Amino acid sequence: MKTVKAASPFDRHAAGYDRWYDEKDGKIIFATEVKALQEVLPGLPKPWLEAGVGSGRFASALGIRTGIDPSARLLQKAKSRGIITIKGRIEDRIIPLESFGTVFLIMTLCFLDNPGLALREIHRILKPQGKLVLGEVPAYSPWGQLFRQKKRDAHPFYKYANFYTFDDLASMLENAGFDICMTVSTLVQKPGKLQAVEIPLNDYCEDAGFLVIVGVKTKASL
C-alpha cells in the first residue's frame, strides 16, 4: 500500500494509513509479511532501495536505507524512521543507471498505473545480476478477494488497486527482463481469523494472502 500519484489518497490520509499498522490485525499482518520478506534478505546485493517506500515501516524493519515515493507527507514519516528519501515515482527515470543492487517493491505494484513501465525502470537501475523483491497480495487468495471487494465498495485506498495472480506477476517479471529465483508464501490465515504471526513457506502456496517473489536481472538493460 504505497503512494503512486501526486494527489493520491495516501497523501490525504497519511496518518490513518500509517496508524493502521498499530492496530491488532495490522500488527499481525505486518509482522507476518516482514517475516516472509526476511527469508529472502540473505545474499541480496547492496545497496538497497525501496520503491514506493511510503511511511518507511517496511524499509525500517528490513534495514533498507533508501526509499523513493511521491508522497511528501509519507516521506516525512519515512525520514523520521531514518530512511534516506527521494521524492518522485520510480517510473520518472530520476535514478541513475545500474545504481542499486536490490530494489524492493512491497504492496506497490498493485497501485501503479503502468506496472510494466515501473518494472522496466527497476531493471534499468539495477546492477548486473541485481535483484527485485516483489511483495504482493495475489488476486484470488482470500485476502485478495477481500481487497477486490473493497475496491468495488470504493474504499479510499483499494478503489485504485489492481490485484494480480501469481502467473500475472511471473509474466510481468519475465517481460521486464527478470528470472524468478525464489518465492515465499505467507498469510494463510483467512480474513477475520488472524491469531498469530505466521511462519513463512519457502514455495508458492495458492492459499497464501501474501507472496514474496525474487527476480534476478539476467539481461542487459532494456
Task: Give domain status of residue 88, yes or no.
Answer: yes
Measured distance CA(6)–CA(69) in Å, rounded: 9
Task: Give domain status of residue 222, yes or no.
Answer: no
What is the DSSP code (8-state) at residue 201? Answer: B
Cβ burial of 83 (10 Å; 0-12, 13-18, 19+) is buried
Supply the pLDDT for residue 7.
45
Supply the pLDDT for residue 3.
38
What is the DSSP code (8-state) at residue 188? Answer: -
Measured distance CA(222)–CA(91) in Å, rounded: 14
Measuring CA to CA, how many Å separate 166 from each of 94, 138, 159, 161, 169? Answer: 29, 6, 21, 16, 5
pTM of the complete model beyond 0.85:
yes
Measuring CA to CA, how many Å separate 91 from each of 15, 121, 145? Answer: 25, 6, 28
Q: Look up the domain containing 45 and give its range.
A: 9-217
Q: Provide the domain count of the chain.
A: 1
pLDDT in tens, the chain (222 residues): 343 444 456 666 556 667 777 777 889 999 999 999 999 999 999 999 999 999 999 999 999 999 999 999 899 999 999 999 999 999 999 999 999 999 999 999 998 999 999 999 999 999 999 999 999 999 999 999 998 898 889 877 778 889 999 999 999 999 999 999 999 999 999 999 999 999 999 999 999 999 999 999 987 655
Supply the pLDDT for residue 222.
55
What CATH number is given to the structural domain containing 59? 3.40.50.150
Beta bridge pairs of residue 68: 51, 86
Task: Give domain status of residue 3, yes or no.
Answer: no
Task: Give domain status of residue 4, yes or no.
Answer: no
